[in-house]
Structure 1
Amino acid sequence: MSRPTLFFDLDGTLIDSAVGITRCVAHALAQLNHPVPPEPELRRWIGPPLRTSFAPLLVDPELVERAVAHYRDRFESFGWAEHEVYAGINEALAALHAAGYRLAVVTAKNEPHARKILAHLPFGNYFEDVIGATPDGTLSHKPELIAEALRRLSVSPTDCWMIGDRHMDIEGARHHTMRNIGVLWGFGGEPELRKAGADRLASEPAQLLALLTA
């Protein structure tokens, strides 16, 4: 029997990208002479699409687009490399790959940026595809990104799991009646993931294989 296909979120699931993302957000706001929120508030930018996060703060759609452009300028130069791989992720992915699972990344991050990051990660070759947001934002929310992943890999939601750290990952999976695992080492936390309706929770990467087969 073939193994399910696993869709992994990127930020907060495979890598701790807080430094790169928050610095790029701060840079974008500074370029617009807008006050930069404190660090805890900046961390809320990790997970949702950029435009979704900038819009309530900047209101004006033109300013939002300028902020996104400034963010990307810094991200393409520095931010993409400002991350750390979570302890145990490499080993967990190696075990899943060896066990015959198909792996893909499904992220709200700009797809070219996500591909650049994965190409430089030690486990990037385990992933069959990287599905990310379009630069113009027309494809940026998890339900639509998961739909695109299902289309590209020619798989059914019943044959897949979504694995991520934020409520968007769980809600996106539930939108497609897809099984899911919320991970507790990222940016969402247990209350957020339980409220979103996570099927299972993993406190460390080494638990993923057991949770998938339980």
Structure 2
Amino acid sequence: MEKAEAWYRERYDQLFPSHARLFPGVKSLLTSLRRAGYLLAAASNKLRPYSQAILAHLGIDTLLQVVVCQDDVGGRLKPDPAMLLAIMERLEQSPPATLYVGDTVIDIEAGRRAQIDTVVVLTGSEHKEALQAASPAAILPSVVELPRYLHSLS
């Protein structure tokens, strides 16, 4: 079993970052949000080395002011709010000034536990009905709809 696990980890390390893909419009969205003065961060249940490799491969690592991973918060995974709380602390922001964007029920619960409004997008693997049942602040068809949502808040 140890050999199989070692083989899996080696293959994962080699292949995973190169298989990650951004949804259309995400990089330009992050670029325009950053230019507009928004503080951008990522909370990842992955370990930091994997998260950093993926973000760098996607070319968005430099657009994020903060990245918090499970190993930054003692291995606590979402829906534990530790990563979101750490992000707010590092960016010196409060829950009312923060919006969390995710695509799972776990993201909605993490946001709720951190007292952050959470918007989910339908580009993940969860069904709309499951997301609706978890009561996010909003459900968007795609993350590229985020600017319109942000505009509706002002």
The answer for unaligned runs of 5 or more in structure 2 is none
2 CA distance for matches of 1:136 and 1:129? 14
TM-score, normalization by structure 2: 0.85
Higher strand share goes to which structure? 1
1:198 and 1:70 mapped to 2: Cα distance? 39
Letter in 1 for 2:112: R
Does residue 192 of structure 1 match 2:135? no
Residue type matched to 2:11 in 1?
R
Q: Of 107, 115, 123, which residue of structure 2 is paired with 1:169?
A: 107
* 1:79 matches 2:16: yes
RMSD, aligned α-carbons: 2.3
Match of 1:148 among 73, 77, 86: 86
Distance in 1 of aligned mates of 2:72 and 2:86: 15
- Equivalence for 1:37: none
3-state SS of 2:58 partner: coil
Report the counterpart of residue 39 of structure 2 in structure 1: 102
- What's the CA shift for 1:209? 0.8
Counterpart in 1 of 2:151? 213
CA distance 1:74–1:133, shift in 2 (3 Å): farther
SS in 2 for 1:185: coil
Report if aligned partners of 2:20, 2:58 keep a CA contact under 8 Å in 1: no
- SS of structure 2 residue aligned to 1:113: helix
- TM normalised by structure 1 equals 0.63
Structure 1: 5+ residue runs without aligned partners?
A: 1-27, 32-66
1:101 aligned counterpart, secondary structure: coil
Change (3 A) 1:121 1:174: same
> Contact between 2:47 and 2:69, CA under 8 Å: does it hold in 1?
yes
Give the structure 2 partner of residue 128 of structure 1: 65
Which range is displaced more, 92-101 or 167-176?
A: 92-101
2:78, 2:107 within 8 Å by CA — same for their partners in 1?
Answer: no
Structure 2 distance, partners of 1:137, 1:185, is 29
The number of equivalent residue pairs is: 150
Counterpart-to-counterpart distance in 2, 1:163 and 1:135 = 20
Distance in 2 of aligned mates of 1:85 and 1:209: 18
**C-alpha deviation, 1:171, in angstroms:** 0.7
Between the aligned residues of both structures, percent identity stands at: 26
- Tell me if structure 1 keeps the 8 A contact 2:20–2:54: no
How far off its partner does 1:75 sit?
2.0
Aligned to 1:62: none
- Report how far residue 152 of structure 1 moved: 2.3
Which ranges of 4 or more aligned residues in structure 1 deviate by more than 4 Å?
none
